[in-house]
Every structure is written in structure tokens, then in C-alpha cells.
Amino acid sequence: MANLFAKKPLARLMAEAQQVGEHSLKRSLGPINLVALGIGGIIGAGLFVRTAAAIADRAGPSVVIAFIVAGIGCAFAGLCYAEFASMIPVAGSAYTYSYATMGELVAWIIGWDLILEYAVAASTVAVAWSEYANRVLDWFGLRIPYQWSHSPFEHDQIGVHGIMNLPALFILFVLTALLIRGTKESALVNGVIVLVKVSIVLLFIGIGWQFINPANHTPLIPAPTTYVTPQGITHAYGGILGILGAAGVVFFAYIGFDAVSTAAQEARNPKRDMPIGILGSLGVCTILYVLFSWVLSGVATVQDFRAAGREASVAFAITKYMSGYEWLSRSVTVAILAGFSSVILVMLLGQSRVFFSMSRDGLVPKIFSEVHPRFRTPYKSNMLFFLFTGLFAAFVPADVSGEMTSIGTLFAFILVCAGVWIMRRRSPELERGFRVPAAPLVATLGIIVCGAMIYGLGWTNWLRLIVWLAIGLVFYFSYGKNHSRISEPPPEMPEGIKLTT
């Protein structure tokens, strides 16, 4: 039982961070790469789809405040991530930090929890990518048949059943191959995608500002009531509960900045560059999100969003209220497609790096930490996750809710905030490239704000998280606990690895 809460020695973590050679990951990312990686993971279709959902179901124009609340929660967590990443520059993100501060069992829970954020989210986003790819093909008179762009569990209005989702499988394969080829090459492609989608978001903000109707922002915070969706789900609408619920919903659009911390072992100067990557990408995206939600909620009414359908709502608002800018509607579709692509890329990268660290600790099989001799990427891990996400995307419908992914991520954020506070008390002498200002206050506020957003998501999502973690505990006690290296001396480093000073 003592081993369940045994902590990974910091000396071993720092030794892993300094490894060089053919068995270690290649340090090739600078601060600009890391900021772009964060923006690539953050700005996806969630900005377009989740914003509309929050306006329609929960907050109305006060979605702007919801984005600020979610951004503040992320800022508290981001500061804590930045301190950890500068202090322990090892792949693994929240998993590694929890192992050093709260012990093996908590680390396993977070590692398992991150599967929900990264791998499951990547496969779900790939299914949505398939749908938008077909929309773009429609512009040129082309279309992938329904059977080959949907799972066997789906059928259209005339009874045609899907066979497998080939476009989703295709994008996962292409991005996995890119990740195997190299992190630097992946970062370059991600940078191009980020430039495209940020430009389109800025175009929408700049052009849409002149079409804002002040009446749509009055009152900014609607009176508290309830709203029943067409699916029969009741949500608190308006007031404080509406804002908190909306913050939990739009939080899905922020997911991804923490993936920067999974690349700590591939940053050239992690003590300096990791805080820049995490906080820089979060700051840029928060500003864009608040401006975007202000314009979107001002252009169209709440009833428009309820009638248009979530995925078409932004394009609907442009077509209905922004006469002469139909081309911008198509540009938004391109931005969504680009956003999906970079989100999948960052999610796949994050998942393989988390399992790289878990494998080095013996909690998952060794194959997940084997590094390609030439590209120095965890290529076998990438291939295994391609199989997992590919099977999921090709044959399972996209029914994993964004709210479920959000609650898992919020849970990870709470533990990272707690971990910074614990580490400050336990090891105040450790060198930190970045220090959280007023750490006890920031960590406490991070826990409170993230906890409030979890509360706003409702008991059904709490139950799903508990079930998911229970499944993870079965895996831990049947494999991870028996293969853990925590009570063993550090393994001999493979030939070719040297510790740098």
C-alpha cells in the first residue's frame, strides 16, 4: 500500500531530463514553435461550435463573461504548468508532475485521465474532420460516399448504412506519419496551419464588428431561467449558473495549451521556453476568444443559434446578417478544417509523450518508450495510438461529448495547481526557471475556479468521469502496479546516453 503513494525522486526526473543520445527525444523546439504548438492545440472547431452551443443553451451574450471565467481558470492552471515545466522539463505533463508530488496512484489516475483528453479527443475530432472535408469537396462537385465516411452504427435518412470512415482514418495516418518523421517537421506544418486559422478568426472579428447589433447584448447577463434543448436536456440558462455552465462548455475550446508541457523534453531551452509557450499561447487565444464571442453574440440573436444548429451557426450568422461576405462563411469552414487538423496533431503528440513517460516508469509496456534510431521520436507509440484512434474514428460514431473531455482536463488542472503548492512547501530550494507569483493564492484560486466549472457541468458528467477512472484503476492494479519501477533502483541507461551537466 505504501508504494501506491510513493513519489518519483526528483533526482531521477532531472537525470531523465538531461539525457541525450539515440534513446532520448530530440530537443528541437524553440519558443515560437511552442507558442504555435499551444495555439494549434487550442484554436479548433471548439471556438466555433462550443461558442454557439454556450450562447444557445446556457449564457446568451454573457458567453463573453464565460470565456473570461474559463480563461482565468486556465491562466491559474497555466501559471502552475509553467513553473512545473521549467523545473521538471520531462515529457509527461501533469502525469510527471503528479508522480513527483502526490505519488504513483495519483499519477496513474492523471495519466489515464489524459487518454480521455488526448487520444479519445483526437479520434473524435478526426470524425468531425471527415464531415468538414466532405463540405469542402462539395464546393468542387465531389463527395465521398456516405458508406465510406461514416461508421457502421450510422445511417442516413434513406437507410444507407456506413461501412467505415475513411477520411478520418486518412487524416490520422497522415498526421501520425508526420509525427514519426520528426517533432520539428510537425511543428513547421502546425505553424502554417496556425497562421491560416488565426488569420480567418481575425478576419471574422474585424469584418463582423461593424455588424454588431447592440440590442443582442442587452441585457448582457440574461435573467436566470432554464432552457430545454431539442434533445430534451434541461440547462440552467442566464444568471451566475448559466455563466458557470457556459464556462464549463467553452472550456473545451481552451483544451490544448497543456499539451505544450508534454513536449518539455523536446524544447531546446525548457526553463526559459516552456513558460513562454504555455502562457504565450494561452494569452493570445484568450484575447481572440473574448473578441470572437463578443462579435458572434452581437451579430446574431440567441434564437438564431437555437434554430441554426451548432455546427452551421457561425456560417448561418454570416449569411443572414453580413450581406456581401458569403466568402467569409466558406473561409470559416476552411478555418474549422485547419483547426481540426492542428488539434489532432497536437493531441496525438501529447498522448504519445505522456505514455513515453509512463512506459519509462513501468506503468505501461516498454514498447511505448522505444525511440526511432534516426528520427528520435517514440514511433512505436505513435503507431499504436494510430491503430487505437483509427479504429475508434473509422468504426465508432462521434458520440464522445466535449463536456466529458472538459471535465477530465479540469480534473488534471486541479491536481497540477495542488502539486505546485505541495512542491513549494516540500522542496522550496529547487531551481525554478519560472515561479508562480503568490503561489498559494494562485494555486487555490485555480482549484476553486476549475472546481466551479466542474460543478457547472452537472452530475451526469461527474458520473462518466468516475466510471472512466474506475476502468483505469482496473488496468493499474492488473498491470501497472506489478511492473512499476518506483521501488527499484534506476535502470542502467542504454549505451549512447550521457548525462550533461
CA dist 337 and 135 (Å) reads 10
Q: Are 83 and 436 in contact (CB under 8 A)?
A: yes
What pLDDT does 207 receive? 94
Q: How many CB atoms lie within 10 A of CB 153?
A: 11
pLDDT tens across the length of the chain (501 residues): 557 778 887 777 777 666 655 556 677 788 888 898 888 888 876 677 778 888 988 899 999 999 999 888 888 888 898 888 888 777 777 888 888 888 899 889 888 888 777 887 788 788 888 888 888 898 899 888 988 888 787 777 777 888 888 999 999 999 999 999 887 788 888 888 888 888 988 999 999 999 999 999 999 999 999 888 776 778 889 999 999 888 888 877 777 777 787 777 788 888 888 889 989 999 999 999 999 999 999 999 988 888 755 555 787 888 889 988 888 888 888 888 888 888 898 889 888 888 888 888 889 998 998 888 888 888 999 999 999 888 888 876 655 445 666 777 788 888 889 989 888 888 888 888 889 988 889 999 989 988 887 887 777 778 878 888 899 999 999 998 888 888 665 444 444 433 232
For residue 221, is it left (φ>0), alpha (ψ between -120 and 50) or beta? Answer: beta
Enumerate the H helices of 364-458 as residue ranges: 379-395, 402-426, 439-457
What pLDDT does 403 receive? 61
CA dist 449 and 80 (Å) reads 14
CA dist 80 and 74 (Å) reads 10
CA dist 330 and 341 (Å) reads 17
Cβ within 8 Å of residue 32, ≥6 positions away: 191
The overall longest dimension of the chain from CA atoms, in Å, is: 69
Sketch out the chain's domains with CATH numbers: 31-129+170-210+238-492 (1.20.1740.10)
Instruction: Cell numbers for 237, please give them.
Output: 440558462
- List pLDDT tens digits, range 400-438: 445 666 777 788 888 889 989 888 888 888 888 889 988
- List pLDDT tens digits, range 368-390: 988 888 888 889 999 999 998 88
CA dist 412 and 262 (Å) reads 13
Q: Is 263 helix (H, G, I), strand (E, B) or coil?
A: coil
What pLDDT does 400 receive? 47
- CA nearest to 311, candidates 9, 48, 28: 48
State CA 419 to chain mean position distance. Answer: 20
